[in-house]
Amino acid sequence: MSLLTTNYLTPTGREEAWRFTPLKRLKGLHDATAVIGDRQSLQTIAQLPAGVSFTHENLDPLAPSDDLIIGRIRAASSAVSHLSIASKVEVGQPIFLGRTSGALDTAELSRVRISLGAHAVATVVLENTGDTVLAEDLEISLAPGSNLKFITVQEFDSKSVYAARHHAVIDRDAQFQSITITLGGDVVRILPTVEFVAPGGSAELFGVYFATTGQFFEHRIHIDHLVPHAKSRVNFKGALAGQDAHTVWIGDVFIGSNAEGTDTYELNRNLLLTDGARADSVPNLEIETGQIVGAGHASTTGRFDDEQLFYLMSRGISLADARRLVIRGFFHEIITIVGIDSIEDRLMNRIDSELEKVGV
């Protein structure tokens, strides 16, 4: 199969969207030199409840994308793994999706659709593990009044490359909550993006990332408020430890001239646990109407708070345990939103072991 079309320009690294990304480590996903393997790795983990289906079908994209990797995926494939939750179905238990196979010598181009019918309610967990090279065009369609909690966990092994866009299209009064957790991989670049297509919708984008020695994790958020009376919240927290650990957080929020009544706030906090790590954090708000409820952003990058460590240690707690408590505490606010004990425990333990690995 011929690889990727050449209609798309190959980024040089000077483009705004690519200026932080280590292109050389993308294993050819960006410049069409990757050899495409023949795999569709996404699977459902357990029996699906009534009203939920998982199929492979040919679907047109929900929304255009100017990301060139997404463009290449679409040019190469119309086959989509489609998780669909029918109208009015309320799924009590989380639906688990995961990946069963991967490879480093070839790349997978994946298209995924998650769609909720009107007034459907569901929690979907997508867990990425193993060593793989994966480019993913994941689109989420929320019909009017539907409600999705979407948890993605990137626990790739250390050589993996993952370049993805997670795009949600939110219809009238629909509610979208995502928790994007990135803890493993060599290069992970995710574009969590949202567009509102009718008034009354809400989107809450939460995220946690922890990059250790040499890892590059980028989260490039974009929220388009082009219709009135939608609400968005973004809160990403990251920790970095070890030489050349590098994270990038971009928060682009655009409020169009018709989007009166918009209410948006975005926040990014980074904790630099050692020297030699680098956190880039760039919030960016563009507003074309004054008729809004609120719009704001905040971004901080700091180190361990000596006063917190002193307080804990003055109660007999060792430095290592004090640091562990502070880091767990830092992430707790977001991890607790996951609401699934087994995942929360696993993530906290993983965070502990990342800490141990770099000897903080």
* 341 binds other proteins per the rule CB under 8 A: no
CB 51 within 8 A of CB 86: yes
* 312 binds other proteins per the rule CB under 8 A: yes
> Strands 121-130, 202-212: parallel, antiparallel or unpaired by DSSP?
unpaired
Among 316, 341, 342, 359, binds other proteins (CB under 8 A): 316
Across the beta sheet with 263-272, the strand order is: 42-44, 95-99, 121-130, 147-156, 175-184, 202-212, 231-241, 263-272, 294-302
Would you say 129 or 308 has its CB closer to other proteins? 308
Q: What SS3 class is residue 92?
A: coil
Minimal distance, residue 239 CB to other proteins, in Å: 12
> Strands 231-241, 263-272: parallel, antiparallel or unpaired by DSSP?
parallel
Per-residue three-class SS string for 119-141: CCEEEEEEEEEECCEEEEEEEEE
* 75 binds other proteins per the rule CB under 8 A: no
Minimal distance, residue 233 CB to other proteins, in Å: 18
Minimal distance, residue 247 CB to other proteins, in Å: 19
Among 16, 275, 315, 341, binds other proteins (CB under 8 A): 315
Among 286, 288, 333, 356, binds other proteins (CB under 8 A): 333
The C-alpha atoms of residue 354 and residue 360 are separated, in whole angstroms, by 9
Number of residues that bind other proteins (CB under 8 A): 23
The C-alpha atoms of residue 247 and residue 277 are separated, in whole angstroms, by 9
Among 247, 330, 343, 347, binds other proteins (CB under 8 A): 330
Where does this chain touch other proteins (CB under 8 A) — which range of 204-212, 277-285, 315-323, 338-346? 315-323
DSSP symbol at 12: -
* 319 binds other proteins per the rule CB under 8 A: yes
* 329 binds other proteins per the rule CB under 8 A: yes
* 239 binds other proteins per the rule CB under 8 A: no
**Residue type, position 116, single letter:** L
DSSP symbol at 94: P
Minimal distance, residue 337 CB to other proteins, in Å: 12
* 350 binds other proteins per the rule CB under 8 A: no
* 314 binds other proteins per the rule CB under 8 A: yes
* 328 binds other proteins per the rule CB under 8 A: yes
CB 308 within 8 A of CB 275: no
* 63 binds other proteins per the rule CB under 8 A: no
Minimal distance, residue 232 CB to other proteins, in Å: 24
Among 198, 260, 308, 337, binds other proteins (CB under 8 A): 308
* 310 binds other proteins per the rule CB under 8 A: yes
Minimal distance, residue 345 CB to other proteins, in Å: 14
**Residue type, position 340, single letter:** I
Burial of 208 (0-12, 13-18, 19+ CB in 10 A): buried
Among 75, 121, 282, 325, binds other proteins (CB under 8 A): 325
> How far, in Å, are 141, 165, 172, 185, 259 from residue 230 at the CA level?
16, 21, 9, 34, 8
Binding to other proteins, residues 80-119 (CB under 8 A): none
* 306 binds other proteins per the rule CB under 8 A: yes
Helix/strand number for the chain, H first, E second: 4, 18
* 348 binds other proteins per the rule CB under 8 A: no
The C-alpha atoms of residue 253 and residue 232 are separated, in whole angstroms, by 9
Among 257, 318, 349, 353, binds other proteins (CB under 8 A): 318
Q: Write out the residues near other proteins by the rule CB under 8 A.
A: 306-308, 310-319, 321-322, 325-326, 328-333
